[in-house]
Amino acid sequence: MVINDFNWKIGGEAGEGIMVTGLMFSKICTRMGLHVYNYPEYPSRIRGGHNCYQVKVKDKMPVFAERKIDMLVALNKETIELHLEEMKDRGIIIADSHLKDISFRFGNIFYLPMDDLAKEAGGKITKNNVALGASFAFINVSLDLVLESVRKAFKDKGKDVINMNEKAVTLGYNYVKENFTGQFNYALSKISDTKNMVVTGNEAIAMGAIKAGLKLYAAYPMTPASSILHFLAPLSQKYKILVKHTEDEIAAILTAIGANFAGVRAMAGTSGGGFSLMSEALGMAAITETPLVLVEAMRPGPSTGMPTWTSQADLRFVMHASQGEFLRCILTPGDVSEAYQLIQLAFNIAEKYQIPVILMSDKLLSESSQSVDRLDHLDIKIERGKILKEVPEGYKRYDLTIEDGISFRALPPAKNGMQLANSDEHDEYGLVSEEAHERNSMLEKRFKRLELLKKDLPKPKIYGDEAPDVSIIGFGSIKLPALAAMNILKEKGIKVNFLHCLCPFPFVGEHYLDFINSAKILISVENNYTGQLASIIQENLCIKINHRILKDDGRPFFPDELAENILKIYKGESL
């Protein structure tokens, strides 16, 4: 019997409640003290496309999605056909009885009259909860725990809805207990009273931003960033945050810049397409030295690309976007905890250095959810940088005599604080100037804060063995697949260490040198086609990373495939 190591997947048509059921399954697991990683896949359409939701359950962190499934819940035929290849030999499929007469190339299919039981419970709409009850019956989780969670999930929907769904869960649960007892090799059992949170990357970003004092969020809907907007909008009155769905992404970034100029912490969020529209204004934030925080949640491009899938191909774009040269900072959290913390750091850096900071996520981090026991220990003290309360007469917004290049902000309507935030090159008051000496002084002013900024940038984190056979390097959401792959390799006796980059720009070379120089075999692992981080390392350190494991088909690296590829390189085989 395998206890507390379980990979569950549910699939069906869009509109059948797959996402909700998946999240509920995972929350029931976390209420037993277990850890989960939830990975949804869905096409860019509202009804009829295939949706699936995968929950990997383990008794300890880190957890990440695995390809091979222990239990597949198929609400339709397509789910079985699409995911048959992912089944473990001893895995099982739970399907509706009406599929009984179709032959699938797989033996362990348990047929349940899901539609009939749902109708009995009160409506076809409860089919997903019949499946939920059935799933937990197979893995020996108590019915009480499942029902308690159902009550919590539907608490705002009224007694009738609660009763109907409780009945659906119970019918599914009992049907399995009565008909298929003892036919499955996996079980979950409670390991502690800790009820872990289940949090998506976007929720972590939003909560971290609230904690950091976010007062205005401006965005135009775009997958996979939209759920930041959806999460913040209902909280606007509670936390006094103006949440604005603007007419387009250009307006979103400009509204955020305007709000920052007027002295609040404001943020805009988007994906690559929206960021393209924001590019011009990004430079305006830089030349006016207005603090700005942006979230860019990546999906595969170019252009519309694959809207609901993951990618890490925008790094170079975000590094270089907008004309001219200016300082910016890019932060790339690897999981929910880092997202929560780094968005707070983003606000501090933006205000202390008066520069744009872009937190880059991707569909994998933004929309997958992860269990964490707590986040509050990651809170960062708010640092608002140089803002004058009393402004002296003769104030110069862009005072060139200040050594570190960071001049004082004055916020309207402070007396004596008049200034021009000017998208034109300007003098110390902000008034237009095209004199060479002034241009040079302002360029130097804007760039010289880099030295100070470097001290505040998060260093890469290094995981794994001290004396590794293989060293891997990656940024952002590569973290969890990499850690999971390392565990697989460890079992095979191969020692791996992993450098996780949290700040690819400005790139601080000395943070990487020891790791890179001591690597026997160095591999860059990235969800893009060209190896962008590897190329950044090469241009900064003149070190070529010869081995690259790259993937940009919209899917994340699954640990087994990543481990297999690392192993091939280790053995000198070609990929």
Site for another protein in 403-422 (CB under 8 A): 411-422
CB of 238 to another protein, least distance (A): 8
The single residue among 382, 402, 513, 575 that binds another protein, judged by CB under 8 A, is 382
Q: Given strand 265-270, what is the order of strands in its sheet?
A: 242-245, 214-219, 265-270, 292-298, 356-362, 329-331
Q: Which stretch binds another protein (CB under 8 A): 3-11, 176-184, 206-214, 446-454?
A: 206-214
* Single residue of 75, 141, 210, 222 touching another protein by CB under 8 A: 210
Q: Which residues of 544-553 are buried (b: 16+ CB within 10 A; e: fewer)?
A: ebebbbbbbe
| Surface-to-core class of residue 82, CB atoms within 10 Å of its CB (0-12 exposed, 13-18 middle, 19+ buried) | middle
CA–chain centroid gap for 341, Å, is: 13
Determine contact, residues 340/370, Cβ cutoff 8 Å. Answer: no
In our burial notation (b when 16+ CB lie closer than 10 A, e otherwise), range 108-140 reads: bbbbbbbebbbeebeeeebbbbbbbbbbbbbbe
Query: Strands 242-245 and 265-270: what pairing?
Result: unpaired
What mask of x and - would describe binding to another protein in positions 285 to 314, judged by CB under 8 A?
A: ---x--------------------------
Please list every residue from 339 through 378 that binds another protein, using CB under 8 A.
374-376
Q: How far is the CB of 275 from another protein (least distance, A)?
A: 16
Nearest approach in angstroms of CB 387 to another protein is: 11
Residue 437 binding another protein, by CB under 8 A: no
Q: Which of 384, 396, 448, 490 binds another protein (CB under 8 A)?
A: 384
- 259 contributes a contact to another protein by CB under 8 A: yes
One symbol per residue from 164 to 203: x for binding another protein (CB under 8 A), - otherwise; what is it?
Answer: -------------------------------xxxxx---x
Nearer to another protein, 42 or 217 (CB): 217
The minimum distance between CB 348 and another protein, in angstroms, equals 11
Q: Which residues contact 318 (CB under 8 A, 6 or more apart)?
A: 275, 296, 330, 358, 360, 505
Between residues 253 and 502, which has the closer beta carbon with respect to another protein?
253
Nearer to another protein, 216 or 297 (CB): 216
Q: Does 246 bind another protein (CB under 8 A)?
A: yes
The conformation of residue 493, written as its DSSP 8-state character, comes to: T
Of the candidate residues 74, 94, 241, 523, the single one contacting another protein (CB under 8 A): 241
Q: Does 30 contact another protein by CB under 8 A?
A: yes
Comparing CB distances to another protein, the nearer of 160 and 383 is 383
- Report the alpha-carbon distance of residue 27 to residue 23 in Å, rounded: 6
Pairing of strands 242-245, 214-219: parallel
Sole window of 101-109, 326-334, 429-437, 506-514 interacting with another protein (rule: CB under 8 A)? 429-437
From 224, 269, 430, 504, residue interacting with another protein (rule: CB under 8 A) = 430
* Residue 266 interacting with another protein (CB under 8 A): yes
Residues 6+ apart with CB under 8 A from 167: 120, 121, 122, 126
Query: CB of 111 within 8 A of CB of 180?
Result: no
Alpha carbons 9 and 56: distance in angstroms, whole number: 9
Q: 230 or 316, CB closer to another protein?
A: 230
Binds another protein by CB under 8 A, chosen from 127, 167, 265, 299: 265
The 10 Å CB-count burial string (b at 16+, else e) for 218-243 is bbbebbbbbbbbebbeeeeeeeebeb
- Omega before 506 cis (within 30°)? yes
Of 34, 257, 329, 343, the residue at the interface with another protein (CB under 8 A) is 257
**Residue 188 C-alpha from the chain's centroid:** 27
Site for another protein in 219-238 (CB under 8 A): 235-237
Applying CB under 8 A, which part among 58-66, 270-278, 424-432, 474-482 lies near another protein?
424-432
